């Protein structure tokens, strides 16, 4: 019984393939229809553009160079429009930012030190955020929500100086150590 089902299924697949590969177009525009429409557009643009309109450097008419023609100069006026090269996620200059960089979105307790290169002229450390993304930091790198800066990298720790502002506007600093965890459980 199973062999019969397999033969019927294979016959159905062959029939579907033959029907699907027929020569008749299913729908849409053929290449010849597209070329005819393109020629019609060229002819209508050639009637609209004056015959003397040519590109000065090559002597080719504007309609031969493409579908468009240059009939005048276009001047872009940016009044009231946003800058097209500026991100739509820009930060307003008047609003103070709380974090800086991707590590500025997390508390220091959420960041863990994975590796340290410390016995060099410029020590570096690899830290990870709660999502597991790794970042390389060095002395002076911004880190943490409270405007923290890495001030020292030791053999198994990262020393970060954070600046806090209380409700009266007074600033205070706090040194926070982030150490490599000795046992990673494995």
pLDDT (0 to 100) of residue 45: 81
Report whether 124 contacts 153 (CB < 8 A). yes
Stretch(es) of the chain classified as CATH 2.30.30.830: 102-179
Provide Rg for the chain, Cα atoms.
34
Domain 102-179 carries which CATH code? 2.30.30.830
Residues 73-115: pLDDT tens digits?
777 778 888 777 776 665 555 545 544 678 888 899 999 999 9
Residues 23-77: pLDDT tens digits?
555 567 788 888 888 898 888 887 776 554 444 444 445 444 455 555 667 777 7
**60: its two tokens:** 């080719």
Is this prediction's pTM over 0.75? no
Any residues with CB less than 8 A from the CB of 163 and at least 6 apart, and which? 146, 147, 148, 171, 172, 173
């Amino acid at each position: 019984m199973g062999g019969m089902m397999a033969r019927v299924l294979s016959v159905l697949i062959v029939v579907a393939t033959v029907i699907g590969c027929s020569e008749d177009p299913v729908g849409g525009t053929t290449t010849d229809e597209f070329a005819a429409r393109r020629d019609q557009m060229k002819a209508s643009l050639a009637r609209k553009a004056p015959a003397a309109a040519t590109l000065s450097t090559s002597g080719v008419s504007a309609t031969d160079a493409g579908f468009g023609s240059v009939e005048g100069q276009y001047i872009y006026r940016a009044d009231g429009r946003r800058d097209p090269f500026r991100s739509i996620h820009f930060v307003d200059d008047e609003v103070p930012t709380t974090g800086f960089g991707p590590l500025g979105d997390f508390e220091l307790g959420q960041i863990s030190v994975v590796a340290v290169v410390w016995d060099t002229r410029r020590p570096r450390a690899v830290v990870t955020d709660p999502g597991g993304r790794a970042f390389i930091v060095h002395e002076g790198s911004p880190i943490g929500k409270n405007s923290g800066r890495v001030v020292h990298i030791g053999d198994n720790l990262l020393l970060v100086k954070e600046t806090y502002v209380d409700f009266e506007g007074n600033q205070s600093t706090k040194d926070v150590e982030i150490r490599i965890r000795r046992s990673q459980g494995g």
